[in-house]
Amino acid sequence: MIRYKSGVYSARAKSGLYSLSGWFEFVIGNNLETPYKGKKIFTNEMKETQAYHEKQKTRLSEINEGISEALKNPELNRSNSDWLKLIIDKFNFPEKYAPKAEKPKDVTVFQFIDKFIKDTPNRKEKSTGRPLTHKNAQQYKATERRLIEYAKSSKKKGL
């Protein structure tokens, strides 16, 4: 839970950061070591716990930086906790707020044929490697006209 208070504004939101029970007793009471029969022992479990909490501490610092950046915006509406929830959600789920890549537009058959005809002078024959001729482009245009005529007649027949 993160609480923010500044003047008359107050906000709370779940952060998704957790501390294990006993962590504060471990740190405050024993200075990162546990006395056992007069000796100070630092176990592997304690090392893992410390690493976990160091990671949580780093994440909390990153969230605090995000909150500080958001507070610089003069248009921020602080009347409720929604702004704080949004900042934390952006931190926890950045992929949710990443700009989405534009999906390529669907190309119709006739648009594809037009592009095919326009690209004719730049293409080469597979068998000889020579550039396609003007005659090839004329044949493609004639085929396109026939397809358009067929499409128009098919619509009238109800296909």
pLDDT tens digits, residue range 18-48?
776 666 555 544 555 555 445 555 677 777 7
> Measured between alpha carbons, how far is 74 from 70 in angstroms, rounded to an integer?
9
Per residue in 53-83, pLDDT tens? 788 888 888 888 888 888 888 888 877 788 8
- Domain locations in the chain as residue ranges: 2-97, 109-157
What is the percent of the chain with per-residue pLDDT over 70, rounded to a whole number? Answer: 79
Tell me the whole-structure pTM to 2 decimals: 0.48
Nearest to 67 by CA among 5, 25, 114, 123: 5
User: What contacts 3, CB < 8 A, 6 or more positions away?
Assistant: 10, 11, 12
Dihedral, 126, 127, 129, 135 alpha carbons, nearest 10:
-80
139-150 burial by CB neighbour count: b if 16+ within 10 A, else e? ebeeebeeeeee
